[in-house]
Amino acid sequence: MKTVNHKNFVRADAPLEKWENFRISNFNFSETKKDGIYIVDSLLENCDLANTRWDKSYFKNVTFSKCRMTGFHSSESKFIDIKFIDCQIKIANLNTSNFKNVIFRHCVLTDSDFYRSILNKVSFPDSDLSRTYFSHTPLAGVDFRTANLSALKIDINDLKGATIDSSQLIYFAWMLGVKIEDIKEE
């Protein structure tokens, strides 16, 4: 695996089209804009991808570890066999993308957008999905257990087939139009 870090890599815009079998550490990609990125069999660790715009891109067998991805924009992209570990992915725009066999572990995805995306075997263990937008995104096969789902933006029809734990039912009661009140014992 080839290693790239801030010491031996000068321009982010030069080789940014096709990367295979790379380990990219401590690199600042922030605010780069390039469509059609192709990254396969690689690791990006401690990288800054804030406000990066990589639309219509392809990622396969890639791990993003401890990356800052606030404002990351990658719509109409494919994410296959991907791990996001301990990443800050706030305000990300991932709409109309395809996700297959993807895990977001210990990630902060607050205010992110998965509008009209396809999620197949995706899980969010111990991640914060507060105010994340999943409208028109079928969630059958998506595992939300242990994630923070407060103020999730979602359609009830899209929720069918998703996996949650019993403590998360409270987040979806409003969709059913029910009022939850505990009986007070006298």
SS3 134: coil
- CATH number for the domain harbouring residue 68: 2.160.20.80
Predicted model pTM: 0.89
**Mean pLDDT computed over 138-147:** 96
Q: Does residue 37 lie in a domain region?
A: yes
Residue span of the structural domain in which 63 resides: 2-176
SS3 159: helix
Query: Per this entry, what is the length of the chain?
Result: 186
Band the pLDDT of 172: cuts 50, 70, 90: confident
| Paired residues of 48 in beta bridges | 28, 68
